[in-house]
Structure formats: C-alpha cells, structure tokens
C-alpha cells in the first residue's frame, strides 16, 4: 500500500488548533497562521514552517485577561471587606492586633509585588513568591473566619493553610496563570495598603497633625506607584504568555526560515532549526 502524502496546511488559518502528539512528518505549514496552536510531543521531522506566524492568538489573550479580572475580583472582595471592617478599630479594641497584621500583610505583599515587577533577577522571583504566600495567608484568614463565624483560631489556621498552599503552588505549579494570579493579588494588596495609609493620613490631617499627615500621604502615594507597577506587570505577563507550543516536539530537519516565533515555547524540542 502506498504511503499517504504529508498533510498540506500551507497558508491556512490554523489558530488555536491542537496537533498534540500527532505524527506530521514532512507536513507543509508554510505561510500558515499557527498562533495559539499546540504541537506538544508532536513528530514534525522535516516539516516546513517557512514564514509561519506563531505566538498568542486573540482568544488566548482574552482568556488570560478574563482570568486576571476574575481573580482580581476574587481577591478584591475579601480584601475590601477586611479593610472596611478595620477602619473603625482603635488600639483599645480586641481586634486591633488583627488590624496591625492586616496593615503589615498588605504593605509587605505590595512591596514584594513591586519588587517582582522591577527586578529581573532571582530576587524578583523570590519577591513574587513572598507576595503570593502573603496573599494566600490573607485569603485563608478571611475565608477561615467567614466559614467559622469569625472564630479567630480557625481564621489563623486558615491563614497558615493558605500560606502553605501558596508555597506548594509556587514549587509545583510554575505556570503563567499562577504568575499572573500572584501579580494580580499583589496589585490588590498594594492598592489596599494605599487606601489604608491614605485613610490614616486623612485622620492625622483632620486633627491638624500635619507632620504625620504629610508623611502618611507620601507613603500612600508610594503605594499607589507600587500598585501601578504591579498592574503593569500583570499586563506584561498577559502579553508575554506562551501562544504556540512546540514543547517536547521532534523538529529534526524542520524549516523555520522567515518564521515569526514570538511567544513560542520550544522547551525540550529535538532538532536544529
């Protein structure tokens, strides 16, 4: 029986199609739009990718943006509730220690998120992990308190659980979605810290304590800058997400002349091209 000829996809719109694990040796993809395609573990020996357009598809960008907005709402709701419940607390109240912890967690998470945004080194990665751990602890504290009808012991246990889950996720789930999620959480934390600090600045200024009022106002502006840096990181991570994946594909003798391989994952591929 004669062998069938290699498939011909030349100049076709193939966006978001999956070729995962398929044997496409000798296939012709020349001039095709392969944005969003999945070629993981595919056999592409001698395939022709001349002039292809790889990278993110519009669908992928919309999906990542939607996930970022949804996670922002998921984190923003408990953070806003915690903030507004702490506004009327004073040092004499029993809950004051939790208010101080809320200040500290939001401020540290915001700083860590900003460091992740501006540092390209391993220190930036560590800062990102720290921001995720703090955000996980904050969410765990809130939901632990909600489900236990504000039992402080269970809320603290929820915070520890949330932090541990964030640590496990940072070790075993090194994905773009996780990175975007931690950056979104850092954005919310930085904005929450800016809000709290600005409220304190307004309180100082209303009592004519101008020195502390000005100091807290400046710190509030600093945290607004942190918020913008974290937000810019979210946008950058969405735009640099993997679009076309050749992970672990066999590309031996493949032709990629004049190919646009932006946002393309070539991890573990076989062959020189």
Is residue 258 situated within a structural domain?
A: no
Residue written as token pair 């807290």? 216
In a domain, 182, yes or no: yes
In a domain, 218, yes or no: yes
Taking residue 216's Cβ as centre, other Cβ atoms within 10 Å add up to 21
Q: Burial, 222: exposed, middle or buried (Cβ in 10 Å; 0-12, 13-18, 19+)? A: middle
What DSSP character marks residue 264?
A: E
> At which residue do the structure tokens 């090194």 appear?
174
Q: Are 86 and 99 in contact (CB under 8 A)?
A: yes
Any domain includes 80 = no
Is the Cβ–Cβ distance between 131 and 182 less than 8 Å? yes
Residue for token pair 């979104």 = 184
- Answer whether residue 174 is part of any domain: yes
User: Given the structure tokens 């735009």, which residue do they identify?
Assistant: 239
Q: Where in the sequence is the domain holding 206, given as residue range(s)? A: 93-239
pLDDT tens track for 60-70:
999 999 999 99
In a domain, 256, yes or no: no
Q: Give the predicted TM-score (pTM) of the model.
A: 0.86
Burial of 55 (0-12, 13-18, 19+ CB in 10 A): buried
Domain count, the chain: 1
The CA distance from 67 to 250, in Å, is: 32
Q: Does residue 131 sit within a domain?
A: yes
pLDDT tens, residue order, the chain (273 aa): 445 788 999 999 999 999 999 999 999 999 999 999 999 999 999 999 999 999 999 999 999 999 999 999 999 999 999 888 887 777 777 778 888 888 899 999 999 999 999 988 788 889 989 999 999 999 999 999 888 887 888 989 999 999 999 989 887 777 788 889 999 999 999 999 999 999 989 989 999 899 999 999 999 999 999 999 999 999 999 998 889 999 999 999 999 999 999 999 999 998 765
Which helix H or strand E contains 48, and what residues bound it? none
Instruction: With respect to residue 220, please indicate whether it lies within any of the assigned structural domains.
Output: yes
């Amino acid at each position: 029986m004669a062998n069938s000829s290699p498939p011909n996809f030349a100049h076709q719109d193939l966006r978001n199609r999956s070729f995962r694990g398929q044997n496409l040796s000798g296939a012709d993809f020349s001039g095709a739009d392969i944005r969003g395609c999945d070629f993981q573990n595919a056999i592409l020996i001698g395939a022709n990718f001349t002039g292809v357009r790889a990278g993110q598809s519009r669908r992928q960008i919309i999906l990542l943006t939607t996930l970022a907005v949804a996670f922002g709402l998921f984190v923003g709701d408990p953070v806003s509730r915690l903030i507004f419940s702490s506004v009327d607390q004073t040092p004499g109240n029993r809950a004051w220690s939790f208010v101080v912890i809320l200040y500290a967690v939001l401020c540290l998470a915001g700083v860590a998120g900003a460091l992740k945004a501006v540092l390209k080194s391993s220190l930036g990665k560590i800062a990102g992990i720290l921001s995720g751990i703090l955000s996980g602890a904050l969410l765990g504290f809130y939901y632990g308190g909600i489900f236990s009808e504000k039992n402080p012991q269970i809320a603290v246990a929820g915070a520890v659980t949330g932090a541990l889950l964030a640590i496990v996720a940072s070790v075993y789930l090194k994905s773009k979605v996780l990175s975007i999620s931690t950056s979104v959480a850092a954005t919310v934390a930085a904005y929450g810290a800016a809000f709290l600090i600005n409220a304190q600045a307004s309180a100082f200024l209303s009592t004519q304590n101008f020195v502390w009022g000005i100091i807290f106002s400046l710190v509030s502006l600093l945290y607004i800058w942190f918020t913008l840096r974290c937000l810019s990181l979210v946008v950058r991570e969405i735009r640099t997400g993997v679009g076309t994946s050749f992970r672990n594909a066999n590309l031996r003798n493949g032709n990629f002349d004049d190919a646009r391989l932006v946002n393309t994952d070539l991890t573990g591929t076989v062959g020189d091209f």
